[in-house]
Structure 1
Amino acid sequence: MNQRKSLLIIVLILLVDQLSKVYIKTHFILGESHDVLGWFKILFIENEGAAWGTKLSDLLPISESSGKLILTIFRIFAVFGIGYWLWDIIKKQSTRTLILAVSLIFAGAMGNIIDSVFYGLLFDHSNGQVATLFSNQPYGSLFHGKVVDMLYFPLIDTTWPDWVPSVGGQRFRFFEPVFNIADTAISTGVGILIVFNKKAFPKHAEKKQEVADQNA
């Protein structure tokens, strides 16, 4: 895969990701949910932290604002690192599988970085109202934006039977996380690297096989 195809993938993912997020922000109230299918819903939430909504301020003795800033700066450095990796493997003409996977991961990381860096300046809040793009009263500041999530797949939504120890009578949902197009791109890219590892890193796989043969 050449640089042009990689760039096309990145641009398309960023476009779909950002258009979907802007639409949700400007048409949904925070917490609003619309059923698409029984097992698929559009549910608007905002993620102020890392994966699964984890905040640095929950783990370290720092304020939420400082934790958000540190997390955003870390994400920016991570994006630069992934970008350099992508540039390097394209330059070295690595496998199509590897370039595709890293392109997806880079596009997803970029999509969420845009939210974290700019959304606090571009939108007003979504609590009890539909947000306005380019608002005169933005909800945050530079580097303090919230990531927009909306894809929700509660494939199983039921209640544990009363006779089940510890959890009887409690609600059970699978799959519970709410995510976005950028998250999907990252997960797909990582999944490709895991499932098609030998195709992504053929030389590494060959070396491991050679070592195994020598030790046999």
Structure 2
Amino acid sequence: MNTGATPDGRCRAEQLDHALKIVIVRTFAYGESRPVTRFFNLVLVYNKGAAFSFLADAGGWQRWFFTGLGVVVGLFIIWMLYRHTGQRLFCFAISLILGGAIGNVVDRVVYGHVVDFLDFYVRNYHWPAFNVADCAITVGAVLLIVDELRRVRRH
């Protein structure tokens, strides 16, 4: 069934996330940081929790909780894709979210943690490290808001 969106968003987000994580894990030591610009480093860190390392020190149960949550959300998104076949931006947005969720769920299952490697900072303030899967989820969420604002304007 044509969902109105190509799988490109999901597949490309997953593939880019996976490929970059492989390169970083193979070429960086844990905690190693390499400057790229005056405000951006590549770094290898592991996140056992959720966004911003929420619950990272919870004792291990969070690995399976967030894995299960990712699977449930993924199934819900797939269901939504089939229900909203004519809404291209909506479907693309949730496809990005799905791709990001899959990328992080795979990390949790395979490694027991999420691999993060993008480190943006201003002076000594560092934003928590993240990865391409997180970017896909964030861009997808922003596109959902844009889609809803456009829908509200039309009605």
User: TM-score, normalized by length of structure 2?
Assistant: 0.88
CA-atom RMSD in angstroms: 2.0
SS class of match (1:153): strand
- 2:60 aligns with 65
**Residues in 2 aligned to 1:52 and 1:4: alpha-carbon distance in whole angstroms:** 33
Contact 1:115 / 1:147 at 8 angstroms: preserved in 2?
Answer: yes
The reply to whether residue 114 of structure 1 matches residue 106 of structure 2 is yes
Give the structure, 1 or 2, with the largest relative contact order (CA under 8 Å, sep 6 or more). Answer: 2
Larger proportion of helix: 2
Structure 1: 5+ residue stretches without partners: 59-63, 121-144, 159-172, 208-216
Structure 2: 5+ residue stretches without partners: none
Q: State the shift of 1:88 in Å.
A: 2.1
The reply to whether residue 50 of structure 1 matches residue 30 of structure 2 is no
Contact 1:33 / 1:44 at 8 angstroms: preserved in 2?
Answer: yes
**Residues in 1 aligned to 2:62 and 2:40: alpha-carbon distance in whole angstroms:** 32
1:146 pairs with one of 94, 113, 123: 113
Q: State the shift of 1:67 in Å.
A: 2.9
- 1:135 aligns with none
Q: Give the counterpart letter for 2:129 in structure 1.
A: V
Distance change >3 Å, CA 48–CA 193, structure 1 → 2: same
SS class of match (2:35): strand
Distance change >3 Å, CA 73–CA 187, structure 1 → 2: same
Kindly tell me the number of residue pairs found equivalent between the two proteins.
154
- 2:142 aligns with 191
- 2:15 aligns with 15
Q: Who wins on radius of gyration, i.e. which is larger?
A: 1
- 2:133 aligns with 182
Q: State the shift of 1:25 in Å.
A: 1.0
Identity %: 29
User: TM-score, normalized by length of structure 1?
Assistant: 0.65
Contact 1:55 / 1:68 at 8 angstroms: preserved in 2?
Answer: no
SS class of match (2:42): strand
Contact 1:14 / 1:111 at 8 angstroms: preserved in 2?
Answer: yes
Contact 2:70 / 2:105 at 8 angstroms: preserved in 1?
Answer: yes
**Residues in 2 aligned to 1:57 and 1:36: alpha-carbon distance in whole angstroms:** 30
